[in-house]
C-alpha cells in the first residue's frame, strides 16, 4: 500500500511540477508581471521540497527556482518584496476520502486534483477497515471555488463512497508573515526599565531613566524599518570594555571554531572591538547577507512562545540595554553583552541558524506543553550547548550563556580546581533535554555535548518531526512567510 501511495503521489507531483514550470516559464518574457508569477511559483515550489520528484538542482533549499530568476529580494512594482505587508492567508479545504486497496486506485483519484489545478499541501493515509484506507487531503481553495467544486464533483462521480469536508483545527495564535512579529515584539514580561530590588541598578535613577529611553526605541520599531543607532555613553562603553577584556582570552581558549571564525569576521565588518559597542543595525545587515538571519530590538524579556516564534522567521529578539556599570562582570538578565558577544556571532553560521529556525518553526501553533519542551531544548543548546572540536576532539562551547560568562565557560569547558563540583556532561539528546529542568541563577549541573553543530541540527530536526504538531511549517524566503501544510484557525492574538 505504501509503495502504491508513494509512486502515485510522486507521479502526480512530478506531472504537476512540470505543468507548473511550463505554465510559468511562458510568463517570464512578459515584462514586470513575470516577477509576480515567478514569486507565486517559488511559494508553490517550497511545497515540493523533500519529495522524490526532485531529480536535479532546479529546486533549491530556500524554495526558489533557478536562483538567478528568483533573487532573495524580488521587486514587485519597483518595490522590494520585504517592504510589503503580510500576504493574505490562502484558504484551504480538508477532505477525508475512503478508498479501496486496489493497485492504481490512488493514482486514479489524484489525477482529478492535477486536472483541475488543485494544489495539494498534505496527504496522509491510515487503515480504515478490511480492504479500505482513509486518506486525509488538504488542498488550497475553498468550497465554492470552481476548481475545488470540480474536484469534489469528479470524486463523487468516480465512486468515492465516503467523502467528507473536515472542520479547521483551532490552534494558538502564531505569526504567518514576518510583519506580524510587530504584534508580539512589545509583549514583554517586563518593561525594560522595571528592575527587581536586587538588581545592581535598582537604586540608580539615571540608569533607570536610560533603560526607559532605550525601551522606547525598541517599542517604536517596525519590522521593515532600519534598526535605530544608539549613542552609547562613556560609562556604558567602559562597562563593555571590562567585559570584552575579561572574555576575549577565555573565548580564544574555550569557544568553538565556528564562533571564533564568525567573531573575526564581525571584527572586520561590524566594528567589534574593546573600545566600541557595535550597533545592532550593522550586525543585522551583516547576518542577513551571510545567513538571512536578522536582529530585532526588543524592550525586555518575551514569553517562550513569542521568542521562539521569532526564530521561525530567522529573527532574533535582542535587548539594547547594558548591565549596570557597578558590576560589569555580573548581570541578572540578558543584556547587549550577552546578546552581542554570546549570541550574535553564532548566527553567522548557517548550521546554527538552521538549527535555531527548526526550534522556531516547531513552536508555531504548538501547545503550551510542547512550547515548554522546545524551550528546554533551546536552553540546553542555544544557551548552554557544548560541542566537540573536530580537530582535536576537545569540548568547546557554542551556547551564548557560556560564551558571555567567564566563570561558567571555564566551569563547563576548563580544568577544574580541587573542591569544585564537576558538571555532568551527556551526549546531545533533544528527547532527554526536553524533559530536563534547569536552574537560572546558578551554574548548570548538566550540559549536553553534540558531536558538531551539524549533529545538533540533525538531531533537533528529528525531534521536531516527532512532536505532536498541529501542522508542518516551512519558511519561504522570498515572501518571508510561514507556509503550513494544512488548514487551521488561529485563536485571537489577545490570548498570546
Cell digits of residue 418? 580541587
| Average pLDDT for 143-163 | 91
CB atoms within 10 A of CB 33: 12
Q: What is the pTM of this model?
A: 0.75
Cell digits of residue 398? 557554542
Alpha carbon distance 11, 110 (integer Å): 10
Cell digits of residue 340? 552581542
Alpha carbon distance 196, 331 (integer Å): 12
324 noted as active-site residue: no
pLDDT at 332: 87
221 noted as active-site residue: no
404 noted as active-site residue: yes
> Which segment of 223-237, 417-431, 454-468 scores lowest on mean pLDDT?
417-431
Residues 156-175: tens digit of each pLDDT: 999 887 888 887 889 999 99
Which entry of 258, 339, 358, 383 is annotated as an active-site residue? 383
| Average pLDDT for 322-348 | 94
| Average pLDDT for 446-464 | 95
pLDDT at 38: 36
> What's the chain's average pLDDT?
82
List for the chain the helix, strand, coil content (%; round to 5): 45, 15, 40
Alpha carbon distance 125, 132 (integer Å): 10
What whole-number percentage of the chain has pLDDT above 70? 79
Q: Name the DSSP class of 181.
A: G
Which entry of 199, 343, 370, 381 is annotated as an active-site residue? 343
pLDDT at 167: 77
Alpha carbon distance 243, 387 (integer Å): 24
Residues 356-405: tens digit of each pLDDT: 999 999 999 999 999 999 999 999 999 999 999 877 789 999 999 999 99
338 noted as active-site residue: yes
pLDDT at 270: 97
Which entry of 39, 218, 404, 405 is annotated as an active-site residue? 404
CB atoms within 10 A of CB 379: 21
Q: Mark residue 188 as left, alpha or beta (left: phi above 0; alpha: psi -120 to 50; beta: remaining).
A: beta
| Average pLDDT for 86-109 | 82
> Collapsing DSSP states into helix, strand and coil, what is residue 250?
helix
Residues 52-92: tens digit of each pLDDT: 222 222 222 233 332 333 333 333 333 344 444 555 666 88
Residue 151 has pLDDT above 90, yes or no: yes
CA nearest neighbour of 476 among 485, 468, 487: 485
pLDDT-based confidence at residue 195 (cuts at 50, 70, 90): confident
Q: Is the dihedral of CA 401, 406, 410, 411 positive or negative?
A: negative
Q: Mark residue 329 as left, alpha or beta (left: phi above 0; alpha: psi -120 to 50; beta: remaining).
A: alpha
Which entry of 338, 339, 363, 408 is annotated as an active-site residue? 338
Alpha carbon distance 261, 256 (integer Å): 9
| Average pLDDT for 24-43 | 36
Amino acid at each position: 500500500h505504501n509503495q502504491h501511495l508513494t509512486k502515485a503521489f510522486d507521479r502526480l507531483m512530478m506531472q504537476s511540477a512540470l505543468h507548473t514550470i511550463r505554465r510559468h516559464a511562458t510568463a517570464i518574457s512578459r515584462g514586470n508581471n513575470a516577477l509576480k508569477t515567478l514569486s507565486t511559483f517559488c511559494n508553490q515550489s517550497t511545497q515540493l521540497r523533500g519529495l522524490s520528484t526532485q531529480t536535479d538542482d532546479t529546486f533549491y533549499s530556500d524554495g526558489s527556482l533557478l536562483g538567478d530568476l528568483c533573487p532573495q529580494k524580488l521587486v514587485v512594482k519597483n518595490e522590494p518584496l520585504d517592504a510589503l505587508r503580510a500576504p493574505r492567508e490562502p484558504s484551504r479545504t480538508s477532505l477525508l476520502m475512503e478508498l479501496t486497496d486496489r493497485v492504481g486506485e490512488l493514482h486514479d483519484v489524484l489525477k482529478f486534483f492535477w486536472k483541475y489545478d488543485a494544489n495539494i499541501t498534505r496527504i496522509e493515509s491510515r487503515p480504515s477497515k478490511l480492504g479500505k484506507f482513509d486518506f486525509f487531503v488538504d488542498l488550497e481553495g475553498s468550497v465554492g471555488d470552481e476548481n475545488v467544486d470540480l474536484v469534489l464533483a469528479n470524486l463523487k462521480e468516480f465512486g468515492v463512497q465516503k467523502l467528507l469536508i473536515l472542520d479547521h483545527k483551532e490552534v494558538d495564535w502564531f505569526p504567518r508573515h514576518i510583519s506580524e512579529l510587530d504584534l508580539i515584539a512589545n509583549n514583554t514580561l517586563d518593561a525594560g526599565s522595571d528592575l527587581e530590588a536586587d538588581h545592581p541598578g535598582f537604586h540608580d535613577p539615571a540608569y533607570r531613566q536610560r533603560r526607559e529611553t532605550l525601551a522606547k526605541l525598541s517599542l517604536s520599531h517596525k519590522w521593515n524599518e532600519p534598526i535605530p543607532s544608539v549613542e552609547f555613553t562613556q560609562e556604558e562603553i567602559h562597562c563593555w570594555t571590562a567585559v570584552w577584556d575579561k572574555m576575549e582570552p577565555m573565548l580564544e581558549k574555550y569557544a568553538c571554531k565556528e564562533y571564533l571564525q564568525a567573531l573575526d569576521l564581525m571584527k572586520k565588518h561590524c566594528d567589534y572591538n574593546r573600545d566600541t559597542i557595535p550597533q545592532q543595525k550593522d550586525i543585522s545587515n551583516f547576518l542577513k547577507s551571510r545567513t538571512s538571519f536578522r536582529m530585532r530590538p526588543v524592550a525586555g524579556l518575551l514569553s517562550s512562545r513569542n521568542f521562539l516564534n521569532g526564530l521561525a522567521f530567522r529573527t532574533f529578539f535582542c535587548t539594547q540595554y547594558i548591565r549596570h556599570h557597578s558590576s560589569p562582570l555580573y548581570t541578572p538578565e540578558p543584556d547587549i553583552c550577552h546578546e552581542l558577544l554570546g549570541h550574535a556571532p553564532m548566527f553567522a553560521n548557517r548550521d546554527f541558524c538552521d538549527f535555531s529556525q527548526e526550534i522556531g518553526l516547531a513552536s508555531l501553533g504548538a501547545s503550551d506543553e510542547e512550547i515548554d519542551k522546545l524551550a528546554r531544548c533551546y536552553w540546553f543548546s542555544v544557551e548552554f550547548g557544548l560541542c566537540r572540536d573536530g580537530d582535536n576532539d576537545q569540548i568547546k562551547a557554542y551556547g551564548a550563556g557560556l560564551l558571555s560568562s567567564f566563570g561558567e565557560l571555564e566551569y563547563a569547558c576548563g580544568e577544574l580546581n580541587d573542591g569544585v563540583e564537576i558538571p555532568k556532561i551527556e551526549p546531545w539528546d533533544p528527547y532527554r533535554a526536553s524533559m530536563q529542568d534547569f536552574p537560572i541563577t546558578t551554574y548548570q549541573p548538566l550540559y549536553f555535548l553534540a558531536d558538531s553543530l551539524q549533529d545538533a541540527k540533525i538531531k533537533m530536526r528529528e525531534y521536531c518531526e516527532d512532536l505532536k504538531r498541529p501542522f508542518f511549517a516551512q519558511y519561504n524566503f522570498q515572501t518571508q512567510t510561514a507556509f503550513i501544510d494544512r488548514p487551521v484557525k488561529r485563536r485571537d492574538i489577545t490570548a498570546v
